[in-house]
Amino acid sequence: MIFKVLSSLSHFHKACILLLVDLVMVALALLIAIPLASDSQVSTSVLWFAPAVLATTGIAVHLLGLNRIKLNTFGIDDLAKVMLASLATAMTGFTLSQTLGLSDITAGIWLEFATLFVVLSVTSRYVMFKIVERVYAQKLPRKQVLIYGAGQTGQQMAAALQTDHEFKAFGFVDDDPNLYKLTILGLKVHSPKRIAAIVRRNRIDRVVLAMPSANQSVRLQIGKRLSALGCEVLALPSFADIVLRGEEVTAAAPLQLDTLLGRDAVENELPQTESTYRDHRILVTGAGGSIGGELCRQIARCRPQELVLVDHSEYALYKIANELKQDNPGLRMTAVLGSIEHPELMRETLMKHRIEVVFHAAAYKHVNLVETNAFEGVRNNVIGTRVLAEEARLARVDRFILVSTDKAVRPSSMMGSTKRMAELVIQDLAKRSEHTKFSMVRFGNVLGSSGSVIPLFQKQIRDLGPVTVTHPDVTRYFMTIDEAVRLVLLAGSFSRGDDVFVLDMGEPVSIHDMALKMIEAAGYSVRNENNPAGDIAITFTGLQEGEKMHEELLIGSDMLTTPHPKIMRAQEKMLSELQVASALQELRRSIETRDIQLLTATLHRYVENGQTEIVALAPSKTPALSVVGES
């Protein structure tokens, strides 16, 4: 109840309350100081000039702005204003007392009154501040911050946190033993040896390193030591650096992923996407993944009639569904927990919700994991795709868009082979479908997706290295998640059936150069032979089985244009219906019998037969076009 009343008060109401409190303190000081120093007759005469004294106080408080000073920012300068107001009031009272002939009320008595008013005014503000602080702390508890460094930067931060509603400074920690047990700005200074106990007993949420003048390596060592405490550790630049150097101190800010593309990003607003999917019933598989989740977010902004999410991970599905509900209150959405490998579940979902568009982003995509789990990779990526696509065809879905990967082209890994086989399955259904338009969009490496190099590098940099790169010369094509999804949505609007869409990717990006940029963007230096005192080292682990040194520039001999200049349509070689049926039968049998030789032989035979003729053209002669994928 008290919190509700306090939080509802306007600035005007708060100013009026503080003015009234000051007037009450003046009256109280008047009733205490003068009667105690004079006889009863003089005390009675006080009532004649009390209104003038109160009026003088009110005017002085208003002109000096004392009633507009926040309780939690009241300081030494404001105390001077209170003293000035008290002197003005005392002078007014002394003048009136002399005019009325009250010679017993001397200037000394009025000075006592002024002193008493200062004490009462400051005390009343302190009491009100503590009451308000206690009320807000019970309703809105603030996070505890421990400041490492009791110097100028630390003190400035502590002062700033006094007025913050989210964080509260608990105290200081400093390496200088001369400061131990001292109190600065009302906060105690502790020894670094007591940090663990302080964090544990007082539930410290963050430790801030307020020592910008310290050597970078010193701060790194302290940060690494504190990282085991279970609370967040942050480094703070000096306030002088923030003012004088401006943007230069933002070097430790999160890296902007667009800077790693090596080309211009696809524009944020693409034509046709919103109108294509508005008021439609749309299903997204793999909705809890990086690409699937971003698909759901962007589709939700297109205002579909209904959005159905499918994922076999309970936590991932819950997370994306909860996010979409909070961000899109009016969205009609259904979360379906289960695998695309179950035809009865897919059939029921497609028919019950009368799905019109399917985005198939569910896949096992990590090269190394699929390499050692080939049977499950084929079961999910190939058999699951066939189950979902066949049910979509029977349900007469309007559009079916497969999210594929450039590793499906000339695959050197098990994951790439399974994705290429999934493409061949979709191409086969596209030839035989009378209603559903089947198409696919290939993606290469997506910046920031789960399992990609960006999150891995970020974690390794937080741990102070080493950052691991497979080979100093390895390169990849990249795009951001939101850019990739915009491409998927746009390609779906272009779909005529049996389409393979590719994107102008520009130049490939060096993974080694990307690691260098991320280390420098985090505010660290690279440790190598030329800089042995650097902060973080880069180590080379060697290419693993199935990995390529360079992704190919994929330009088919019969590339076709689309309404978007950066998106092309490739016409690719296909398998016959009989070949696809035979391949699926052999793959199912290999899974049932756990025959890895049959599985690899089947994929090798049919994937090789299903490869399109691809040529790599030099960027200097022809604009570099490549496909991009999700891994």
**Residues belonging to the active site:** 407
Please, what sign has the CA dihedral across residues 492, 496, 502, 504? negative
Q: Which two tokens stand for residue 631?
A: 């891994």
Distances (CA, A) of 326 to 252, 329, 489, 629: 31, 6, 23, 29
41 contacts: CB under 8 Å, gap ≥ 6: none
CA 239, 245, 246, 251 dihedral sign is negative
Q: Helix count (H) and strand count (E) of the chain?
A: 22, 25
Residues 518/461, Cβ–Cβ less than 8 Å: yes
Give CA separation, 617 vs 261, 506, 518, 571, 626, in Å: 20, 12, 31, 17, 11
The bridge status of strand 567-570 relative to strand 560-561 is antiparallel
* Token couple for 539: 């180590």
Q: For residue 326, how far is the Cα from the chain centroid?
A: 16
Residue 330 neighbours by CB under 8 Å, 6+ apart: none
Q: Are 553 and 616 in contact (CB under 8 A)?
A: yes
Token digits of residue 155:
């003190």
- What are all long-range contacts of 240-246, with beta carbons under 8 Å and residues at least 24 apart? 241/212
Per the CB < 8 A criterion, the answer to whether 361 and 313 are in contact is: no
Q: Measured in whole angstroms, how far is the alpha carbon of residue 409 from the centre of its chain?
A: 34
Check: CB of residue 418 under 8 Å from CB of residue 424: no
- Are 289 and 277 in contact by the 8 Å Cβ rule? The answer is no
Q: Are strands 509-510 and 475-476 parallel, antiparallel or unpaired?
A: antiparallel
Find out whether 443 and 630 touch, Cβ atoms under 8 Å: yes
Question: β-strand 555-556 against 614-615: which pairing, if any?
Answer: antiparallel
Q: Is the C-alpha dihedral spanning 104, 105, 107, 111 positive or negative? A: positive
The gap from C-alpha 4 to its chain's centroid, in whole angstroms, comes to 31
Length of the chain: 631
Q: Give CA–CA dist 236/331, Å, rounded.
A: 41
Bridge partners, residue 333, by sequence: 307
- Judge contact between 419 and 381, C-beta under 8 A: yes
**What's the gap between Cα 449 and its chain centre?**
14
3-state secondary structure of 232: strand
Determine the Cα–Cα distance for residues 221 and 205; give it in Å rounded to an integer. Answer: 20
- In 174-205 the beta strands, taken as DSSP E runs, fall at 183-184, 187-190
- Tokens encoding 104: 């017993």
